[in-house]
Structure 1
Amino acid sequence: MENDVWKEVLDVISDRISKPTFETWFKPSKLKIEQTSWLIITSNEFAKDWLEMRYISLVKDAIYEVTKKMPEVVFTAEEEDMALSYSDRKIDHILAQINNLSLIEKENLFDVLKKYFLLSHDEAEFHLGRESQFERNNQLNIGYELDRIDRLESEVEQIKNQLLRLNN
């Protein structure tokens, strides 16, 4: 099923860009659907970065046109795909989104995250202060990464929405 859907998405993309561009950047790519994310697997890191920086909107539009869904889209290089966990890829995706922000947007995001994580760290220390070191390590390691990813995604979306409102 993934291959059929990806072929349809690629057909839409191929109609919107030149043949050499399509052949170079999109034709070698593969799709892997993991939870609610679409992982676009490229042949190498350079192709991943190129697609992520220049064609993310086109890919999302084509996915929506074919599926009427708006999944999270994450680009990954083939060699990375085997090594990175789902949370690592989500973090990479968030960082790529942050890189697309203007300097002012990045500064605002940094201020929000700094306040959030300083408060969260203090609260975590307070709540975990009486537990054993073993329990503390387990609790921090198991849920921390997923919570951190969710908070970052939420913060990025809130900042984007605020910026859109300010620009209107």
Structure 2
Amino acid sequence: MKHLILILFLFVCQKGYSQTGLLPLDAENNVFYSDSGKPNKSKSEIFKQAQNWISKTFGNYENAVTFEDPQLGKLILTSYAPVSGIAYEYVRFDLTIECKEEQYNVRIDKLDGISTTHSPSRLGAKDNNAIMEKEVAVKTEQSKKKRAEAEAALRNTKADIESINNAMYKLMSDLKLSLTQPAE
């Protein structure tokens, strides 16, 4: 009976939860982060400051950038960010910066959790669903020992996702600060 209720609960809540999970998801249930800003600068100034930010943040510009077009005002890079989680040590991601006159857009997507103990794992709706499943397990578990184990697993999973979110939001925040400050 307990398993039937769990399955029914997961089925009913999955649709709504996947839209409001801890990792931001796009329409295809892929993790993404986005931001935009309107610095009072030309497209070429924004592009140059974005290039400088990439060099300062990721070290080797040539290794990080996978696409660069000054005419389009577009930069795409693939890099890693350290995360202080239990499941992953790093997150690999693509970061796209589109520069326009007095405006920029940034998008971080294609996130893979990287660990020394297992193969890279694409982050997505499954990670949000794992939290929901663990929350249900905590609420429905009768055994004190198993409930404590479920609570620990839930805390660890939430901490992993929080560390990923913090790393990605920090990148976007640092980029925003760099692009909105006066040119050096």
Common fold, TM-score beyond 0.5? no
Greater RCO, CA 8 A, separation 6+: 2
TM-score, normalised by the number of residues in structure 1: 0.29
TM-score, normalised by the number of residues in structure 2: 0.27
Q: Which structure's residues are more often helix, by fraction?
A: 1
- Bigger radius of gyration: 2
